Amino acid sequence: MTQTYRKRKPTNHNYRHGSDAESRAKLDLLKPHARAHPIFRLGAHHVMRSAGSKGEFDLAAQCAHNDLWLQVKSAPDLKRGARELAKLERWLSRYDKPVPPNRYLAGLVWIPRAGWLVAARYTPNKVVVSANAYPSRG
C-alpha cells in the first residue's frame, strides 16, 4: 500500500516569526511570571489575536479595569530590537485617534534568548519606553 503525501504550502518566514511572538505575548499576558514587565501584570483575563492582521494592533487584552491594545514585533537581536522599539515609540507618540481613558496602547518587541522590549502609552501624550529586556519563560 502506498501513501500519498500532500505537499505543504510553504509558510512565510516573517509571518511565522511574527505569529510566534504574538502567541508568546498572549501567553505572557494571561499567565505572567514574577519578573515580568508591569504591562503583562495588568490581570488580563481574555486576549484576542488578530491573525494575519494588516491593521494597527495585533492583540487586544481585556483586563479587570482597563483594556490593552498591542502591536507585537519580533527581532533577532538587541540592536535590531532597539530600532523596532524606537519605531513603535514614534508611532505611539503620534497616534492621534481617540482613545478611551481606560485603554492602554503598547508596542512589544520579542527578542529570542533576551525577552521583551516594551513601549507603552498610558496617557495621551506620554510614551514610556523600557529599553532593557524583560525576561520571558524561555
Number of other CB atoms surrounding residue 50 within 10 Å: 13
Cell numbers 503525501: residue: 5
Closest CA to 136 of 22, 52, 34: 34
The cell numbers describing 88, all together, are 513603535
pLDDT, residue 82, reads 92
pLDDT along the chain (138 residues), means of 10: 60 79 90 84 89 82 90 92 93 88 90 89 81 64
Is residue 117 packed enough to be buried (19+ CB in 10 Å), middle (13-18) or exposed (0-12)? buried
pLDDT, residue 107, reads 92
The cell numbers describing 91, all together, are 508611532
Q: The pTM is what? A: 0.83
User: Domains of the chain by range and CATH?
Assistant: 13-134 (3.40.1350)
